[in-house]
Amino acid sequence: MSKPLVAVHKFSSCDGCQLAFLNLGPALLTLTEQVEIRHFLEAGLDDPETAVEIAFVEGSISTDEELARIQRIRAQSKTLISIGACATSGGLQALRNLGDTESDWRQAIYAQPEYIRTLQHATPIKDHVKVDFELWGCPINSQQLVAAIRSLLFGVPPLENDAKLCLECKRQQAVCVMVTKGTPCMGPVTRAGCGALCPRFGRDCYACYGPGENPNTDALAARFSGLGLLPDAIARRFLLINSNAPAYRDAGLKALPSGRYPTQHD
């Protein structure tokens, strides 16, 4: 039987999620015995046009070229998986969606702004094409990746884990940083999957895995306020890595008296 074909595509991103492949160590070689990676530029595989069983997509869409490219990728891929915050929610760079700022910034930054063609917003893959599965995280880790590939090789859909981080803290027996230190932790509204890394290191979660199921953002915003956070600071908690995920975006903008981000700063 021929091996299933796999492609790894990159859009606007930091390359960190692709590292879930390249950091597999010797297991990377084992993986290539089970699947055939056809396209993965960073790894030296350049074949973007071949039809594949599984396409992994990193990064958000922020240019016309990217818009056209994701359509082609969708058309030639049986299963399309978005990997990481950039691809799944728009990522950190989606902060620019919150204000009417992109063209101003381009003007401010480049001497010849007319050469820089970018869309006004940085958007997740699912805004443009059907996404079959999402792997959340900034970055995703190798376990998520391997689990997803394994499920697909067995012909079953990868398991969706949208439980909250707080549950993972309990499982890991991590001490709650909000209760013991009064640190404004995003755990109560964040999806599990990382292994509760931040609380285990004695710090607040900053929600790099995105919203968990039915996040009660109002209750958490009220709690932050009780801990002494001012509205701006509450908004910044929600508006960071996954600011374009609706639950966080709404909660962040709601916290701001002006309802606008970025707040004026002088």
Partner 1 sequence: MPDSRHCLQDAIQLNMTERRIKIHVPALTRVEGEGALHLEVRNDTIEQLQLSIFEPPRYFEKFLEGRAYSEILDIVARICGICPIAYQMSAAQAIESAFGSEINPWAQDMRRVFYCGEWLQSHALHIHLLALPDFLGFQNAIEMSASYPKEVRRGLQLQGVGNALISLFGARSVHPVGACPGGFYRAPDLPAVQTMIAKLEAARPEAVALLEWVCTLPLPQDDQTFTSVSLQHPREYPLYSGRIVSSNGLDIAAEAFDAHMQENHRPHSTALYAHLDGEPYLVGPLARLNLNLDQLPDAVANTLQQATAGTAVTFPSRNMFHSVVARAVEILLAIDEALRLLRNYHCPATPAVAVTPRAGTGVGASEAPRGLLWHRYDFDDQGLVRSARIVPPTSQNQARIEADLHRSLRTFGLDQSDEALRLRSEMVIRNYDPCISCATHFLDLQIDRRP
Binding mask 17-56 for ligand SF4 (x = CB under 6 A): x---------------------------------------
Measured between alpha carbons, how far is residue 131 from residues 55, 93, 107, 162, 190 in Å? 10, 20, 34, 17, 21
- Residues 6 or more apart whose CB falls under 8 angstroms from that of 180 comprise none
Determine if 190 is a binding residue for partner 1 (CB under 8 A).
Answer: no
In three-state secondary structure terms, 12 is strand
Binding mask 223-242 for partner 1 (x = CB under 8 A): ----------x--x---xx-
Q: Which of ligand SF4, partner 1, none does 265 bind, CB closer than 5 to 8 A by kind?
A: partner 1
Of 4 and 16, nearer to partner 1 (C-beta) is 16
Tokens of 209: 């895995």
* Interface residue with ligand SF4, options 6, 7, 13, 80 (CB under 6 A): 13
In three-state secondary structure terms, 8 is strand
Of 153 and 183, nearer to ligand SF4 (C-beta) is 183
Determine if 239 is a binding residue for ligand SF4 (CB under 6 A).
Answer: no
- Residues 6 or more apart whose CB falls under 8 angstroms from that of 127 comprise 61
Of 107 and 143, nearer to ligand SF4 (C-beta) is 143
Q: Taken in order 222, 93, 70, 190, is the CA torsion positive or negative?
A: negative
* Interface residue with ligand SF4, options 11, 21, 133, 206 (CB under 6 A): 206
Which residues sit opposite 190 in a β-bridge? 211
Determine if 176 is a binding residue for ligand SF4 (CB under 6 A).
Answer: no
